[in-house]
Amino acid sequence: MSSQAELSSQAEPQFGALRLMAVHAHPDDESSKGAATMARYVREGVQVLVCTLTGGERGDILNPAMDRPEVKADMARIRREEMSRAREILGVEQKFLGFTDSGLPEGDPKPPLPPGCFALTPLAEAAEPLVRAVREFRPHVILTYDSSGGYPHPDHVKTHEVSVAAFEAAADPDAYPGSGEPWQPLKMYYFVSFHQAKFAALHEEMLRRDMESPYTKIFAEWEERARRRQADPGYHELEITTRVQAGDYFEVRDRALLAHETQIDPNGFWFACPLEVQRAAWPTEDYHLARSLVDTELPEDDLFAGVRESVSL
């Protein structure tokens, strides 16, 4: 049995459990966005499945210690192994949905995307594996990216589009009739992982403790980004509707991040702020409620608010 088949069999829904699905573009995304939340819910008995749309084959090596020709030549295998280690650390289930990484085009003008990549896959085709996964796993809540992708990587933007399409199609018996019995997820959230209020709070807490803050450069970059966004009439800041207390699981999150050795420099930015500062200044992971078929009151502190009261477990 292949490793993917094994993971698929593990993702069968458990009767009596709340179920959470996190949809991501590449291996490592699950560890940088919402990882502490997932670790918390797993420890509380929630069944959690990460769906990874691509294998991250075209990702750059971002850890200097791993920047070797033999690593670059074997990225597809290595990134799957990294994902396996991160999955075990977080305690979640995980499955790859089989698309090929599009890479991040750079330059002016940017080069065309490679043929056959995820971002160029027609939406109806790209959504089918996720519709199938939703119908198999039957999540009550789905986590994904907003329309910007969180940042403008073509696979992140496509992941948003696929997630929204699957949320709508999974319950429709006329959509994808050969892809499982219909299932209606009850809520969809967008990650609000990297926002100015959070980093301002971390910055102020480090200064209060007479520590050198690594965030000054970020604020300058955000000011420039804000000026560019003012010219975009379609842009709007995501409202944080839901803050999940996850500080007790930040260490688990960091261990999962470090499992992605090609992507995470242990001496880099991710670990510039001590955990005790993070727990004191901003102990939550934050989300925007994009869709809900249950009644809930905002703001929330639980992704299953309204779900717990609406379903029989």
Q: What is the mean pLDDT of the chain?
A: 92
Residue 35 contacts by C-beta under 8 Å, 6 or more apart in sequence? 90, 249, 252, 253, 256, 257
Strand partners, 49: 21, 93
Tell whether the torsion through CA atoms of 52, 154, 243 and 263 is positive or negative: positive
Q: What is the pLDDT of residues 80-126, one digit of tens each?
A: 999 999 999 999 999 999 999 999 998 888 899 999 999 999 999 99
Whether pTM > 0.85 for this model: the answer is yes
289 token code pair: 């409620």
From residue 134, how far is each of 97, 139, 155 by CA, in Å?
A: 12, 6, 20
pLDDT of residue 6: 39
How far is residue 299 CA from its own chain's centroid? 21
For residue 217, name the pLDDT band (cuts at 50, 70, 90). Answer: confident
Q: Per residue in 137-183, pLDDT tens?
A: 999 999 999 999 988 899 999 999 999 999 999 999 999 999 999 99
